[in-house]
Amino acid sequence: MKSTPLCEKHVQLGAKMVPFAGWNMPVQYEGILAEHHAVRSGCGVFDISHMGQFTVEGTGAKVWLNGMFTNNLDKLVDGMGQYSMMLNERGGVIDDLIIYRLAEEKFFVVVNASMIDEDYAWLTEHKPEGISLSNKSADYVGLAVQGPECQKVFAGLCPGVQLPVRNGIFSFTAEGDELIVCRTGYTGEDGFEFFCPAQQGVKWFEKVIACGAKPCGLGARDSLRLEMCYSLNGSDLSPKKTPLEAGLSWCCDLSKDFIGVQTLREQKAEGRPTALVAIEYTEKGAPPRHGYEVQLPDGTLLGELCSGVLSPTLGKGIAMAYVPAQYAKVGTEVRVMVRGKGVPAVIVKKPFLKK
Condensed to tens digits (0 to 9), the pLDDT of residues 187-199 reads 999 999 999 999 9
State the number of CA atoms in the 13 A half-sphere of 43 facing the CB: 20
Alpha-carbon gap, residue 58 to 75, rounded angstroms: 19
Burial class for 255, CB neighbours closer than 10 Å (0-12, 13-18, 19+) = exposed
Q: CA–CA separation, 133 vs 123, rounded Å? A: 8
Cβ pair 304, 264 in contact under 8 A: no
Query: Could you tell me the pTM of the whole model?
Result: 0.96
Give the tens place of pLDDT for each residue, 136-166.
999 999 999 999 999 999 999 999 999 999 9
- The residue ranges of DSSP E strands in 161-211, in sequence order, are 169-174, 177-182, 191-197
Could you report the per-residue pLDDT of 166-214, keeping only the tens digit for each? 999 999 999 999 999 999 999 999 999 999 999 999 999 999 999 999 9
Put residue 315 in one of left, alpha, beta given phi > 0 → left and psi -120 to 50 → alpha.
left
Tell me which residue of 194, 196, 174, 172 sits closest to 185, measured CA to CA: 194
With a CB cutoff of 8 Å and minimum separation 6, the contacts of 159 are none
User: What are the structural domains, with CATH classification, of the chain?
Assistant: 2-52+138-227 (3.30.1360.120), 273-348 (2.40.30.110)
